[in-house]
Amino acid sequence: MNELPQQLANGLILGAMYGLIAIGYTMVYGIVQLINFAHGEIFMVGGFGALTVHLWLPDNFALGAAIPLMILGGVIVSVAVATAAERFAYRPLRTAPRLAPLITAIGLSIVLQQVVWMWYPDAKKDRPFPQFEGGPFDVFGANIQRGDLFVLIAAPVCMIALGFFVTKTRSGRGMQATAQDPDTAKLMGINTDRIIVMAFAIGAAFAAIAAVAYGLKNGQVGFRMGFLMGLKAFTAAVLGGIGNIYGAMLGGLVLGVAESLATGYIGDIPGMSLFGGGAWKDVWAFALLILVLLLRPQGLLGERVADRA
């Protein structure tokens, strides 16, 4: 059972990634009640953006120093795509029945996947992502790879920054107001359009950071990486309470740890020996979602969605 720290560590690392992506889903849903299907692909293009920066840098550039630049590159690409999507695909449909923006989001997600697949050089297969040299650290019995350190630092930093933004800055409070009641917010002089753009942008930025983490952890990025990660991240957002940004991160962590533990230990349960291992991890994630919806549909920390009735 000294695997446990390892499994926990894996779970937290994975969960932090889910959480960062989930922020994007939850913020957008909380304000405009739209499941931004393309958010998984925003995550994906962020990863490719970061990769591109790395490819431009000279060969002997230290990875540690390159990381901030890569993050910047990824963020720029993600935010650009997300805000363009909001402006040209979603905004015209804001008054349309709910189905229209959802279908548009699905279409956009497919388009983004295909664009990368077709036009990014060599993207038909997964492309390798730079890795840190050196061995893992031993923390309480768990091996932590150097690359994983990134997300363990980045996630808390991002959450603190976001918390500060939402509670202490004018724009942040405007975002809370818009999330609760967009019409009144408008009457109070808040530029709700700008707020919505901000929500998309922040979500995209966080997703790009998660993509860098993903690349560092898995050693590769591919055009399909957004689909399953996106699905699970939305699950995490629902788990934590949709619209609730702390819920998103919490949900991500819970989901990551649950997946890890299930993968590691389900096989030990008598009779379930065949069900252990990585092949089933997505199934457990989904099962967790169903369970939460059955028992506590508002999520762990409660929903925060504007009443659009």
Shortest separation between residue 119's beta carbon and another protein, angstroms = 10
Match 């959802």 to its residue by tokens.
102
Q: What is the maximum span of the chain, computed from C-alpha positions, in angstroms?
A: 62
- What DSSP line would sit under 110-168, residue for residue? HHHHHHHHHHSTTTTS-EE-----S--EEETTEEE-HHHHHHHHHHHHHHHHHHHHHHH
**Choice between 67 and 236, CB closer to another protein:** 236
d(CA 78, CA 221): 15
Strand, helix or coil at 220? strand
Residues that bind another protein (CB under 8 A): 29, 33, 35, 89, 92-93, 96-104, 106-111, 113-115, 118, 227-228, 231, 234-235, 238, 274-275, 277, 279-280, 282-283, 286, 289-290, 293-294, 297, 309
- CA–CA dist 133, 149 (Å, integer): 13
The least distance separating another protein from the CB of residue 98, rounded to whole angstroms, comes to 7
Alpha helices in the chain (DSSP H): 4-32, 39-56, 63-84, 99-119, 146-168, 170-180, 182-187, 192-218, 225-240, 245-265, 281-295
296: tokens are: 């506590």
Picking from 13, 23, 5, 1, the residue whose alpha carbon sits closest to that of residue 249 is: 23
Task: Give the nearest distance from C-beta 264 to another protein in angstroms.
Answer: 15
Nearer to another protein, 43 or 129 (CB): 43
Write down the least CB distance from residue 234 to another protein, Å: 6
Within 8 A by CB and 6+ apart from 144, the residues are 9, 13, 136, 137, 138, 152
Tokens 């990863």 label which residue? 47
Q: Residue 103 Cβ, how far from another protein at the closest point, in Å?
A: 5
The nearest distance, CB 135 to another protein, in angstroms, is 31
Residue 124 or residue 160: which is nearer to another protein going by CB? 124
Shortest Å distance, C-beta 308 to another protein:
10
Under a CB-based contact definition with an 8 Å cutoff, are residues 23 and 202 in contact? yes
Q: Which is nearer to another protein, 80 or 231 (CB)?
A: 231
When the beta carbons of 134 and 270 are compared against another protein, the nearer one is 270
Instruction: Rank residues 53 and 229 by Cβ distance to another protein and give the closer one.
Output: 229
End-to-end CA, the chain: 51
Closest CB to another protein among residues 249, 289:
289
Residue with smaller CB distance to another protein, 29 or 206: 29
State the nearest-atom distance from the C-beta of 15 to another protein, in Å. 18
